[in-house]
Structures are given as C-alpha cells and as structure tokens.
Amino acid sequence: MTRLLQLPQQTGAANSLNTLMRSLGTSFAGALAGVILAQLTTGFGGHALPPENGFKVVMAIGAGAALLAFLVATFIPRRQPAAQTPQDAPEQVEAAAAMA
C-alpha cells in the first residue's frame, strides 16, 4: 500500500494542499449558495429578496455535503504504528530507564 506525504520533509506540501482544498471548497460553496439564493428570489415591496425556502435549500445541500464528507472520511485507513525492529528495542529500554 502506498502512503502519500508521510515523511517529515513533506509536511509543508501536505499542509499547503490542505489549505488549497479548503480555500477551493469555501469558494465553491459560497458561489453555489449565492446562485441558489439568486435563483429563488421573490419580489417584496419592489425589492428582490431570497425567501426562507431558499435558505432551507442551501442548508440542506450543506448538510448533505457534510454527510457525504463524513462517509468518505470513515473509509480512510488509520495510520498503523511502525513495526519495531530489534535494533530499536535497546534504545527504547534505555530511554525508559532514564525517565524512571
């Protein structure tokens, strides 16, 4: 199994990719909400206003997207601890003894 971005040298790349995806998601979500509210506007006293139903639709889409993200996240495998090699064992015993 291939593990992406697990080395300490790649922490910056992983952080920047996470930031980019969050920025894109926020931008697309805001634009989508604006389009939905603009399409569902009604006239009220000579002014175009989005109705309460438009906000309910936006919230329902957001809740669906959050549920989808939760379901996808449940299938991401957890990180397994590294296997201990025999040469590492004496170092860990010495470190534990020094802390005691």
| 40 exposure class (CB count in 10 Å sphere: 0-12, 13-18, 19+) | middle
What is the mean pLDDT, run by run of 10 residues, along the chain of 100 residues? 60 88 94 94 88 94 95 88 60 60
Could you tell me the residue range of the domain that residue 28 belongs to? 14-75
Task: Compute the radius of gyration of the chain from its Cα atoms.
Answer: 25
* pLDDT tens digit sequence for 50-68: 889 999 999 999 999 999 9
Domain count of the fold of the chain: 1
- Whole-model pTM: value is 0.62
pLDDT of residue 84: 61
Q: How far are the Cα atoms of 2, 5, 46 from residue 8, in angstroms, in the given order?
A: 16, 8, 59
Question: Which single residue is written with the structure tokens 């989005």?
Answer: 50
Show the tokens assigned to 10.
């790649």
> Do residues 54 and 40 touch, judged by C-beta distance below 8 A?
yes
